Structure 1
Amino acid sequence: MDYCPGLDEIVSDLSFWNLANLARDRGSHDVLTTFLVVAWGLWNRRNKFIYEDVSLNINTDVNNVLSLKQEYTKVQVFHGFDKRINHVVYWHPPPIGCLKLNIDGATFSDSFSAGVGVILRDHNGDVVVAATKVESEVSLTVFIEAIALLRGIQLCVQWGYLKSY
């Protein structure tokens, strides 16, 4: 199957980023998007095999991610979200003598679970401590984000990095 027209004749040792740039240069924004979602689908397929011992049919998996891309595109156009991002947000380290806590949460509807990740970095951006935790029976994104914040605060307290003012 030809998932990314214009890239089918390439036989090379190009890096992922070089292939992404090639997709962008040889095609439209849609070709690049297709390349990226197919790459994500293959990465996800690999992780399911390695970590969950689940073997997915490659054509089914790629068709599923292309279907997701198509649905996402429809929603973006329908709701008028077809705008390009005009600014980039960068992570900035905290001031000297301070630590910065970053948190994130994600829900996994197929397993009715969620996960949180927390990381503390110093003024150089070096990791002081990081942790992840699986949270059971959490299905709403807003709740898992709140739990991620709670776990981040608990990590700070446990490591003695929370100061009272």
Structure 2
Amino acid sequence: MHVLWQCHATNDVWSEAIKAVQKWRVGEGDLLGLLEELVKKLTQAKMEETIAIMRGLWLRRNTFVFENKLLSHNNVIRAAIDSLEEYQTTNVQMTENRSRAEGLDQKWKPPNVNCLKANWDAALDVKLRRVGLGVIIRNNKGEVMATGCDSKSYVEQPAIAEGWALSKAMELCKDLSFNRVILEGDA
């Protein structure tokens, strides 16, 4: 709570960031109470921006503690906004992909007993040349055993994007010592 809201070192970030929170008192006692107040007073867009900046402040703190570098308030704000925009873009693309997949009337089929199934997918942004990767591993009852996600830059072709997603699925299975796994993508 202190690093995100009360610390004097974070005042420079909040003074340059969201106008709606600049003049708030810094005396909120706990994070949950602060978040409840934010939800009451901010629009969803401003709430998302505030949370992204809080994440940026935490990363700034870690960079200072572990690397002895203090990032400027402008860097924190810019990185937070960039990260939020990337998340929103990916989220829109994932929703569009999900809508198309639902139109295919596909249904997940469980693996045999003593087997797992790893489903993987990729969302490619050709314009930004970035791909988001997702993996979910379930048992024969449909229970989630593990998940993973990643992103890669400089990817332009859908087949390469799907290949990265498959690679992520295999890497996750190997890291967790899952040996009897069916790998299933949508491509």
TM-score, with structure 2 as normaliser: 0.45
Structure with bigger helix share is: 2
More relative contact order, 1 or 2 (CA 8 Å, 6+ apart) = 2
> TM-score, normalised on structure 1?
0.49
